[in-house]
Structure formats: structure tokens, C-alpha cells
Structure 1
Amino acid sequence: MVLSNAINKESPLPLYYQLKELIKKEIEKGNLKPEEMIPSERDLGEKFEISRPTVRQAINELVNEGVLSRKKGLGTFVAKPKISQEFLENLTSFQNEMKSKGLPYSTKVIELKEVSTTPELESVFGTDYSTFIFMKRLRYIKDNPVVVVSTYIPKALAPGLINEDLTNVSLYETLQTKYNLKIQRAKRVMEAMVASEEDSKWLELEKVSAVMFIKTTGFLDDNRVFEFSLARYRGDLTNFTVNLSIQ
């Protein structure tokens, strides 16, 4: 870590803010690499002749912003860069979004089976369907597990779906081209939650790590529900973009 620039104690800018900006510039320049450990609070305080509480404030803000991450018992590290996703405002497949960004991706199908309806599924789909195709998929970006998603599709809408290879093809494209489903819109509900033990295993997270939980209900052009998905995204690797306009 270079951090060659001195902190100007005569500047009206707070000392913690100056240190914070110095660290961010070192990351932007590539002098600090993702997952590289930064100097300790004591070392930074001695180098710049500032107090440890001042250093701690700068570090805390960078951790809160996702620029740095703490690993218990190890130290503070440069966080992996987050992948921005726009799927909250665009109804597109994971594959198409990754292709548009030029990012390498892959999918692992963890489960693919038929299941019977439940009270929860009836609350989403109504009582017209008794059997669903259930799939659990783990999506990777740059070899990092990013999201695990559980999806329910009524078997009556796509009877052969259980035999499809969904590792390299888009589910939406398969539903539209092979089963002539006219996908129109979706409703998504997002909330932060603690990853379950199983999700932590799949997403390679430490216990009690935060994930972004997104519930998707997909609709056809005749307003029938065709999809119910529950996705858990790693909070340390992804962020979401929503563009708003004044009405």
C-alpha cells in the first residue's frame, strides 16, 4: 500500500475524510487490490500522525460503503468490486443481463423436480394448478457464486420443463420459445435478511452474513401467474440499480 500523499492538517476538510479519500484513491489506482489487507488502525495512525479514533471513523465509513470489509480475527480488506444489476427495472434473464455486461457467467442446477401445491403456492397461483416444476439454481459470475434462486412453474404451463437442460439456456427464453408463453411483466419485492445455513454454504458466505432476498411473481399477457421465484443475492458482490423519473 503506497498512501504516499500526506494528510494536510491545515485543510478545512476533516482528517478522517482525507484519509478515507486517500484509501479510495489507492484502490482506484490499483495500488490496493481486491481482497488485499490494509494496514492496521495503529499503523495508519502512526504513519499520518492522527488518532486511532480518527482512523477508525474513516475505516468504518468505507466498510459501510462496501469499499472495505472486515474479517473477524484477520483484519480489514479491500472488498471485491460489486456487480451492478438492473433486473429490478428490466424484465430480462440472468444470461442476457450478463451478456450485455460482457461478464462471464454460469449456472449450476442444484434441484429439478415435481412438487405438489402448498398453501403458499395457492396464495400466488390460485387453485388451478396441483403440480409444479421446482428448480433451484446457483448462478456464478466470474466463478463467484452470486445468487441462489428457487423457482416454481406450473407443470400444466410447461409440461416438459423438467427434462430441459437449464444450465446453459435462459428459463424465460425456453418458456417463450418452446411453450409459447407470452411473458408480460413481473412484481418484485426486495428485503435484506440473514442467509440461512444452506444458502451460506451455496454462496460461500460466513455464518450470519447478509443477503438480499428478492421475491418475484411473473405474469403472462393474460394476467396469469406463470412464475414464483425466491432469490438470495450475496450482499458483498452485488448492488441493484433503479432509475426513477418524476411523475
Structure 2
Amino acid sequence: MVRTGDRSRAVPGSALDSVHFALDRGSPVPLYYQLAQQLESAIEHGALAPGNLLGNEIDLSVRLGLSRPTVRQAIQNLVDKGLLVRRRGVGTQVVHSQVKRPLELSSLYDDLEAAGQGPSTHVLRNETTSATAEVAAALGIAEGAEVTALERLRRTHGQPVAFLCNYLPATLLDLPTARLESTGLYQMMRSAGISLHSARQTIGARSASAEEATLLDETEGAALLTMQRTAYDDTGRAVEYGQHIYRASRYAFDFQLLVRT
């Protein structure tokens, strides 16, 4: 149902049939922004899936009881975010949702699953190797010591969203590839009795190399978010060092700031 003030209207004949809107004409928030936010929420929570057609602007304005400029502005807002695309002769189509991940010590797999994003994992590397100086410093071990090196490609709705490189002390726990492709790394650690306590994390951004662009289905030079994280257990021992890259077009960190008093 679409609610505009005290009026309800069904939205038949499109992927919007299952979506409920609450548009308040008396609110100081512009109608186009209300519509854009509610469409984005429907995409994020899977009510509107990649490939769904929303129809053209004229159809949408009639169905939603809004002016065409209002609908156009709302759609453009989501086109600019990469969530929708306009296709000539077809109309407006959902491309994918952007992952908004809370800035906390959690597994990307678990966060995606909880958000209904349909995560899947392809393990590209799972082997024992010698720790480089960088990895050794992060884990607090000797350079050259044995570590387990993991490289995984994480997808949502079949589309790549992140490339994850992780290093763990080789004797920490068993990491069978089949389990890594069916669950999150932190869930496996918790199941092994490892109690995660805290982490140090650095977030940055850079452009995609040719190899990274191919891996993530992006263009070379596209914006990527980066994250380096060292996680510690409840004894203060470093148990994991991660170097991750995310598609900026499909991924964002979401956190709350508090004012000191």
C-alpha cells in the first residue's frame, strides 16, 4: 500500500506490489526524498531484488499518486547511488543493493546473512605459509613463522562485493575450505572456543588495479574501500589479521557518533 496523507493506494502490476510505502505530505522532508529512502530500504531488505522492474516514471507517478518530477528525482537519487538503472524501452530496474555494515567487531558473512543479502563465498586460497614482516608484526609473532593464509571472494545475490585476505596463527584452529564457503570465519572461531574481544581497525580508500577490477567485476580505477583489522581474543592474543577491499558502489560502513560532554 502507498499512504499519502490519509489516503491509501494499491500499487499493482510491478515489483512494487509487495512494497509498502508511507509518504507523509505534511512532513518537512521532501516527498522525493521519502520515496527514495523507502525504495532504498526495500532494496536493502530484499523486497525489491536485483533485476526487478519498477516501470517508467509516468507509470510510477500514476501508481504512487505523485508528480512525475518527484518520482524522477527519487529515481535519480538511487541511480546516482548505483541501486537503480534506467533502460530504454524497459523502464527502471533494480541493479543491486548497497551493503551498509555496522562498524563493529563482526563477520561480514554474518552481517550480510542477517540483512537478507544472500551471501556466498568462494575460497581462492587456503594454505600454510610464512609470515611476512607486516603479518608478523600484526599478529605479534616472529617473521617467517607459519600462518594460515586465506583469500576469499564474498558475493551477495551472486554479485561480488568484497575480496578478503586473512592471516591466522597456523595452530589456532582447523579451517576446512568447505566450511569457509558455508559460514563466516568468526563463527568458526567462536565454535572452536575462541572468544573474540576487541580489534584495531583502519579504513581507507583507493582505486582498483586491473586484477582487482576483474575480480570484483568493476572497471580499472573504480573506487574501493579498504580495511585492515587485527582481532584479539579475551586474553589479549592477536588471533586474526585481515586486509580487505570492498566495492564502494556496493558497500558502506555505517556508524554512530556520540558527542562528548
TM-score, structure 2 normalization: 0.63
Matched, 1:157 2:196: no
Separation in structure 2 between the aligned mates of residue 99 and residue 67 of structure 1, nearest angstrom: 19
**Which consecutive aligned stretches of 4+ in structure 1 deviate over 6 angstroms post-superposition?**
33-36, 60-64
Residue 201 of structure 2: aligned partner: 188
Separation in structure 1 between the aligned mates of residue 53 and residue 131 of structure 2, nearest angstrom: 44
Matched, 1:239 2:252: yes
Percent same amino acid among aligned pairs? 23
Which amino acid in structure 1 is aligned with residue 152 of structure 2? Answer: R
Residue 102 of structure 1: aligned partner: 116
TM-score, structure 1 normalization: 0.67
1:83 pairs with 63, 82, 98, which one? 98
Q: Secondary structure at the match of 2:112?
A: helix
User: How many residue pairs align between the two structures?
Assistant: 202
Change in 2 beyond 3 A, CA 1:79/1:189: farther
1:166 pairs with 163, 180, 184, which one? 180
1:176-229, CA deviations, whole angstroms, 9 ceiling, x for partnerless residues?
A: 222x21111122211110112221111011111111011111111111111111
Separation in structure 1 between the aligned mates of residue 253 and residue 110 of structure 2, nearest angstrom: 16
Contact residue 217 and residue 228 of structure 1 kept, 8 A: yes
Which amino acid in structure 1 is aligned with residue 99 of structure 2? Answer: S
Matched, 1:133 2:148: yes
Deviation at 1:133, TM superposition (A): 0.5
Change in 2 beyond 3 A, CA 1:122/1:35: farther
Equivalence map 1:1-247=2 (5 Å): 80-89=95-104, 91-128=105-142, 130-158=145-173, 160-161=174-175, 165-178=179-192, 180-247=193-260
1:24-83, CA deviations, whole angstroms, 9 ceiling, x for partnerless residues?
A: 86x95x9xx8899x9xxxxxxxxxxxxxxxxxxxxx9988765788xxxxxxx9884542
Deviation at 1:103, TM superposition (A): 2.0
Deviation at 1:165, TM superposition (A): 2.8
* Unaligned residue ranges in structure 2 (runs of 5+): 1-29, 40-47, 57-75, 86-91
Which structure exhibits the higher relative contact order, with contacts defined as CA atoms closer than 8 Å and separated by 6 or more residues? 1
Q: Secondary structure at the match of 1:161?
A: coil
Contact residue 35 and residue 78 of structure 1 kept, 8 A: yes
Which amino acid in structure 1 is aligned with residue 120 of structure 2? Answer: S
Change in 2 beyond 3 A, CA 1:79/1:196: farther
Which amino acid in structure 1 is aligned with residue 121 of structure 2? Answer: T
Which amino acid in structure 1 is aligned with residue 106 of structure 2? Answer: T
Separation in structure 2 between the aligned mates of residue 79 and residue 235 of structure 1, nearest angstrom: 17
Contact residue 215 and residue 229 of structure 1 kept, 8 A: yes
Change in 2 beyond 3 A, CA 1:126/1:35: farther
Deviation at 1:175, TM superposition (A): 1.5
Which amino acid in structure 1 is aligned with residue 137 of structure 2? Answer: S
